[in-house]
Amino acid sequence: MMVSTKGRYALRVMIDLAEHQAEGYIPLKEIAQRQGISEKYLEIILKVLVRNQFLTGLRGKGGGYRLTRPPETYTVGSILRLTEDHFAPVACLEPGAAPCERAAGCRTLPMWQKLNEMVNEYFDGILLSDLSGPMQAGDDYVI
């Protein structure tokens, strides 16, 4: 499983908005500048987040974007699932995949199922609020 640029950027945007939520609606241009993401690409990501009610947008003067809920109610898994098709490590575990005719005798299926479960549980165990907030020494990583 590899998280796409779109998924990483969506996570960065959500963290940015969580850290600036006290400022109200944040203009797309400000988010793009802070995160080093082109405005055009950011528009695509923001549309997905708004359509799924993770963000709300306001047009016009004083407009921009903001979270619809408190940061502690979003999980990394829920954010990434909006931009990634799935986290499945193999095709037979993808949502909507046709049943595999070899599944009954597949010696590796339980291993892939466990990995899939571990990845989903891991991402669902990290809250947006865990990733936002003041930076501390050693927190200078890039997603």
Place of tokens 């010696």: 107
85 — pLDDT class (breaks 50, 70, 90): confident
DSSP E strand stretches across 44-122 = 55-58, 64-67
The fraction of the chain above a pLDDT of 70, given in percent, is: 93
* 3-state secondary structure (DSSP) of residue 26: strand
Domains, the chain, ordered by start:
5-131 (1.10.10.10)
pTM of the model: 0.85
Better pLDDT: 85 or 99: 99
User: What are 19's two structure tokens?
Assistant: 């850290």
Residue 66's contacts (CB-CB under 8 Å, 6 or more residues apart) are 17, 21, 24, 25, 26, 55, 56
Burial of 112 (C-beta count, 10 Å sphere; 0-12/13-18/19+): middle
What integer pLDDT is reported at residue 39 of this predicted model? 96
What integer pLDDT is reported at residue 138 of this predicted model? 47
What integer pLDDT is reported at residue 30 of this predicted model? 96
What integer pLDDT is reported at residue 137 of this predicted model? 44
134 — pLDDT class (breaks 50, 70, 90): low
3-state helix, strand and coil shares in percent for the chain, rounded to the nearest 5: 55, 10, 40
Question: How is 78-99 classified by DSSP, letter by letter?
Answer: HHHHHHSS---SSGGGSTTPPP
Taking only the tens place, the pLDDT of each residue in 105-131 is: 999 999 999 999 999 999 999 999 999
